[in-house]
Each structure stands twice: as structure tokens, then as C-alpha cells.
């Protein structure tokens, strides 16, 4: 009877530890997923054309090249 009592107590503590560890793992996983989604938002792919009007820069480069060719 005493051995059964000790085994039952140990099983109870084992179940409590497993449940607590599972809750910690779930909480950490949710935190990792939240950080991952925020990082994806911050570092999402953006086209260069959204920020730069390349036609103006190309026109300036063409003018510089034309001026250099005239000086030859």
C-alpha cells in the first residue's frame, strides 16, 4: 500500500511537470511566431520603383554621357 501511494504521488508530480513544461513551450512558440510575423512585416520585399523615379536619374546620366562624348 505504501509503495502504491508513493508511485501515485510521483505520477501526480510528473503530470504536473509535464503540463507546466507544455504550457511554457506553447507560450514560447507563440512568442516566436509573433516575432517572426513582425520581422516579416519589417523586412517585406519592396520594389525599387516604389521609392525611386528612375526616369529622371536616367535622363541625368544620359546628359552626362552626352556631355562627355562632346568633349572628346
pTM: 0.50
Q: Domains in the chain: how many in total?
A: 1
CA distance 70 to 72: 5
Residues 61, 67: Cα–Cα separation, whole Å: 10
User: What is the secondary structure of 36-59 as a DSSP string?
Assistant: HHHHHHHT----GGGT--HHHHHH
* Structural domain range at position 27: 2-71
pLDDT at residue 32, as a whole number: 95
Helix-then-strand count for the chain, H and E: 2, 0
Q: What is the pLDDT of residue 21?
A: 98
**Which set of grid coordinates corresponds to residue 49?**
520603383
**pLDDT tens series, the chain, 72 aa:** 777 887 888 888 999 999 999 999 999 999 999 999 998 888 876 665 555 567 778 888 899 999 999 987
pLDDT of amino acid 50: 53
Amino acid at each position: 500500500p505504501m509503495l502504491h501511494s508513493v508511485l501515485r504521488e510521483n505520477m501526480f508530480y510528473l503530470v504536473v511537470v509535464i503540463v507546466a513544461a507544455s504550457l511554457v513551450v506553447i507560450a514560447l512558440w507563440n512568442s516566436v511566431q509573433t516575432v517572426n510575423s513582425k520581422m516579416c512585416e519589417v523586412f517585406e520585399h519592396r520594389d525599387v520603383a516604389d521609392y525611386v523615379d528612375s526616369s529622371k536619374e536616367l535622363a541625368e546620366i544620359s546628359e552626362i554621357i552626352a556631355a562627355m562624348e562632346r568633349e572628346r
